[in-house]
């Protein structure tokens, strides 16, 4: 998937996340107070309320918690790519995030399958979104 | 929390024309439903001093509460727009009851619905539904509302063994009931095979696992319980009501198999002094076929993992042990934006009266209505009764 698919929308909460994605890095917020790794990026820790945060590199590995194969998309740019997989990934780092599953074997994905991060270009200015594919190793 | 038990009644209920109603606007449909609800109660617009409604995505209005009040030509002392998606109607009943109990107003008109079928194109209707997705961390991946619920369904099937056939039985149950409803959007019977063979939308959900897109609005009137003798029709008594909100977006849901229905239900049961065994029939929120299965289990109306079989074996039929969605629900009666859940409240009130002809359930003393909004994000459960108790 690439081309006309939507580019990331960057804001003050998420700037480091999307900056890192441009360099093929998945980064997550880690609370400096209690150590909880969280997703999505936000101002404070939902566990302890601390406003102190550091950005850490994710291991980039996880397992499929659930998924769907979309046959009828909401927008034309996605409709061209049907059928495609939307999945929820439980990261080894702790949090859960949403992704597509990319690769020729994507439609065979199952709950519990191991996946690893990859990056997909969006737009023409170097922006990328984190994506996942089956783990190679 | 102050108990609302036996403090307020639903004095009247109404539905607009439902289906494809291109000659009416969305606000017009709401006005029609309001007029019918007031007529049902034997009241007029002059009796209304409170108004609650939800929101619209088909017409360019901002403050919909005052928009509807202005359209109806009333000047309420209590007025607001509530936006918790499909949970809005039940939450509005709770807010109306609280306002009446606190003395802010006496009679609250509540309405919701839109001209979703003809007020916008089918594609723009689908696009509008994507606003439920997280704009930054979900929508880049092209999910859509059926996709979110499909991921819940997939996980539920994985953990509890719920089957596609059981989910299809939810759709057939609703359709069977809609066929007995004079105002339902859907008028043709369907079978389990029809659902299983219908067009795939987001696996494992097919088009017949998904709710309708209707032109429809509903309304009800909430007033003080001591006014019951003045009401034209038999009112429904509010025994208990509770809400619970766990997340907005699926990436932030604490679980894909446990939601806030359990907590909203416990609050409602506790206030009513009743339990699941006391419920005669239920109007569950059925935006997708997996949802009432989950709700039935979370609300204690059956064991965890048993919900699919309860539908498949016919317990939820009008003649069954626990009739569910006796009007056809969102799958077959009507769904229009925030209005979907309001028809469960309308139908429960009518069934409690006992005069619904061949759609009438046999035991009709106590009803449970559940609304949910977002992706099972905002939940509200109410228990209504034929008499104060």
B28-79: per-residue pLDDT in tens?
999 999 999 999 999 999 999 999 999 998 898 999 999 999 999 999 999 9
Can you give the pLDDT at residue B217?
98
* Inter-chain CB proximity A40 and B158 less than 8 Å: no
Q: What percent of chain A has pLDDT over 70?
A: 97
Q: Is B6 left (phi over 0), alpha (psi -120 to 50) or beta?
A: left
Q: Which residue of B has its CA nearest to A38?
A: B252
Tell me how far apart the alpha carbons of residues B221 and B9 are, in angstroms, rounded to a whole number: 8
Residue with tokens 């965890």: B304
Chain B CB contacts of A74 under 8 Å are 126-127, 129-130, 142, 144
Chain B touched by A132 (CB under 8 Å): no
Chain B CB contacts of A69 under 8 Å are 200, 202-203
Residue A76's pLDDT band (cuts 50, 70, 90): confident
Angle between helices B164-178 and B290-298 (to 10 degrees): 100
CA dihedral B264, B53, B8, B368 (to 10 degrees): -40
Tell me how far apart the alpha carbons of residues B332 and B334 are, in angstroms, rounded to a whole number: 6
* Inter-chain CB proximity A5 and B140 less than 8 Å: yes
For residue B87, pLDDT beyond 80: yes
Tell me how far apart the alpha carbons of residues A128 and B39 are, in angstroms, rounded to a whole number: 58
In a 10 Å sphere around its CB, with 0-12 CB exposed, 13-18 middle and 19+ buried, how is residue B49 labelled? buried
Chain B CB contacts of A39 under 8 Å are 137, 251
Can you give the pLDDT at residue B232?
97
* Inter-chain CB proximity A71 and B130 less than 8 Å: no
B116-162: per-residue pLDDT in tens?
899 986 666 666 767 789 999 999 999 999 999 999 999 999 999 99
Tell me how far apart the alpha carbons of residues B142 and A113 are, in angstroms, rounded to a whole number: 21
- The string of DSSP codes covering B289-334 is THHHHHHHHHTTSS-TT-HHHHHHTTTTSTTSSS-B-TT-HHHHT-
Q: Report how far apart, in Å, the C-alpha atoms of B213 and of each of A54, B26, B118, B128, B287 are.
A: 45, 13, 9, 12, 10
Q: How much is the ipTM here?
A: 0.97
Mean pLDDT computed over B163-169:
98
CB B316 within 8 A of CB B324: yes
Average pLDDT, chain A: 95
Q: Which of B51, B41, B42 is nearest to B110 (CA)?
A: B51
- The string of DSSP codes covering B200-220 is EEEETEEGGGB----EEEEEE
Q: Which of B322, B339, B269 is nearest to B117 (CA)?
A: B339
* Inter-chain CB proximity A75 and B130 less than 8 Å: yes
Radius of gyration of chain B (CA): 19
- Non-local (6+) Cβ contacts of B178 within 8 A are B184, B185, B186, B187, B327, B328, B329, B332, B333
Tell me how far apart the alpha carbons of residues B352 and B342 are, in angstroms, rounded to a whole number: 16
Helix ranges, chain B (H) = 26-41, 64-72, 88-101, 122-129, 145-160, 164-178, 192-196, 261-272, 290-298, 307-312, 329-332, 342-353
Helices (H) and strands (E) in chain B, counts: 12, 11
Q: Is the peptide bond before B204 cis (omega within 30 degrees of 0)?
A: yes
Chain B CB contacts of A68 under 8 Å are 143, 147, 150-151, 154, 202-205
Can you give the pLDDT at residue A2?
43
Average pLDDT, chain B: 96
Q: Report how far apart, in Å, the C-alpha atoms of B23 and of each of B69, B254, B272 are.
A: 21, 44, 43
Mean pLDDT computed over B329-341:
95
For residue B309, pLDDT beyond 50: yes
* Chain B interface, best mutation among A98, A101, A109, by max B CB count within 10 A: A98
CB A85 within 8 A of CB A64: no
Our CA-based measurement puts residue A137 at a distance from the nearest CA of chain B, in whole angstroms, of 25
Between CA B57 and CA B67, with CA B63 as vertex, the angle to 5 degrees is 90
Q: Which residue of A has its CA nearest to B124?
A: A74
**Token pair belonging to B32:** 């029609």
pTM of the model: 0.97
Residue A3's pLDDT band (cuts 50, 70, 90): very low
**Token pair belonging to B39:** 């007529």
Nearest CB neighbour to B154, from listed A6, A81, A111? A111
Can you give the pLDDT at residue A1?
45
Q: Which of A22, A118, A87, A97 is nearest to B143 (CA)?
A: A87
Q: Which residue of A has its CA nearest to B123?
A: A74
Chain A CB contacts of B129 under 8 Å are 74
Q: Report how far apart, in Å, the C-alpha atoms of B239 and of each of B131, B224, B269, B271, B387 are.
A: 35, 13, 8, 7, 9
Nearest CB neighbour to A75, from listed B127, B137, B250? B127
């Amino acid at each position: 998937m690439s081309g006309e698919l939507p580019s990331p929308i960057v804001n003050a909460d998420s700037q480091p996340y999307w900056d890192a994605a441009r360099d093929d890095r998945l980064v997550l917020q880690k609370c400096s107070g209690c150590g909880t790794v969280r997703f999505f990026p936000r101002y404070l820790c939902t566990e302890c309320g601390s406003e102190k945060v550091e950005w850490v590199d994710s291991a980039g590995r996880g397992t499929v918690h659930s998924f769907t194969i979309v046959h009828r998309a909401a927008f034309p740019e996605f409709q061209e790519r049907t059928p495609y997989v939307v999945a929820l990934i439980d990261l080894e780092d702790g949090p859960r995030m949403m992704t597509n599953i990319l690769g020729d074997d994507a439609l065979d994905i199952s709950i519990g399958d191991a996946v690893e991060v990859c990056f997909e270009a969006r737009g023409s200015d170097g922006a990328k979104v984190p994506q996942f594919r089956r783990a190679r190793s | 929390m102050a108990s609302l038990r036996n403090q307020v009644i639903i004095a009247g209920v109404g539905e607009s024309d439902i289906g494809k109603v291109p000659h009416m606007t969305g606000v017009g449909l709401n006005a029609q439903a309001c007029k019918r609800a007031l007529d049902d109660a034997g009241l007029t617009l002059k009796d209304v001093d409170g108004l609650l409604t939800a929101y619209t995505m088909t017409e360019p209005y901002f403050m919909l509460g005052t928009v509807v009040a202005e359209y109806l030509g009333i000047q309420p002392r209590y007025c607001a727009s509530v936006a918790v998606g499909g949970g809005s109607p039940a939450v509005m009943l709770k807010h109306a009851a609280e306002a009446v109990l606190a003395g802010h107003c006496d009679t609250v008109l509540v309405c919701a619905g839109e001209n979703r079928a003809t007020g916008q194109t089918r594609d723009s209707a689908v696009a509008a539904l994507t606003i439920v997705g997280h704009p930054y961390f979900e929508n880049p991946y092209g999910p859509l509302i059926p996709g979110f619920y499909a991921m819940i369904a997939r996980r539920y099937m994985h953990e509890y063994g719920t089957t596609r056939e059981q989910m299809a039985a939810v759709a057939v149950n609703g359709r069977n009931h809609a066929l007995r409803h004079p105002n339902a959007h859907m008028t043709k019977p369907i079978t389990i095979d029809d659902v299983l063979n219908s067009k795939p939308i987001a696996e494992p959900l097919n088009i017949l696992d998904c709710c309708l897109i209707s032109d429809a609005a509903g309304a009800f009137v909430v007033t003080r319980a001591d006014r019951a003798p003045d009401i034209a029709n038999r009112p429904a008594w509010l025994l208990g009501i509770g809400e619970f909100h766990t997340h907005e977006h699926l990436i932030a849901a604490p679980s894909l198999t446990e939601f806030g229905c359990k907590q909203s239900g416990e609050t409602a049961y506790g206030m009513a002094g009743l339990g699941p065994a006391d419920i005669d029939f239920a109007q569950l929120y059925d935006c997708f076929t997996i949802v009432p299965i989950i709700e039935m289990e979370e609300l204690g109306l059956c064991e965890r993992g048993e919900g699919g079989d309860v539908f498949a074996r016919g317990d939820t039929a009008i003649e069954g042990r626990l009739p569910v969605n006796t009007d056809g629900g969102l799958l077959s009666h009507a769904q229009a934006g925030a209005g979907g859940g309001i028809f469960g409240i309308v139908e429960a009130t009518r069934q409690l009266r006992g005069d619904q002809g061949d759609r009438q359930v046999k035991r009709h003393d106590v009803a449970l209505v559940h609304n949910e909004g977002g992706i099972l994000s905002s939940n509200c459960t109410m228990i209504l009764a034929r008499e104060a108790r």
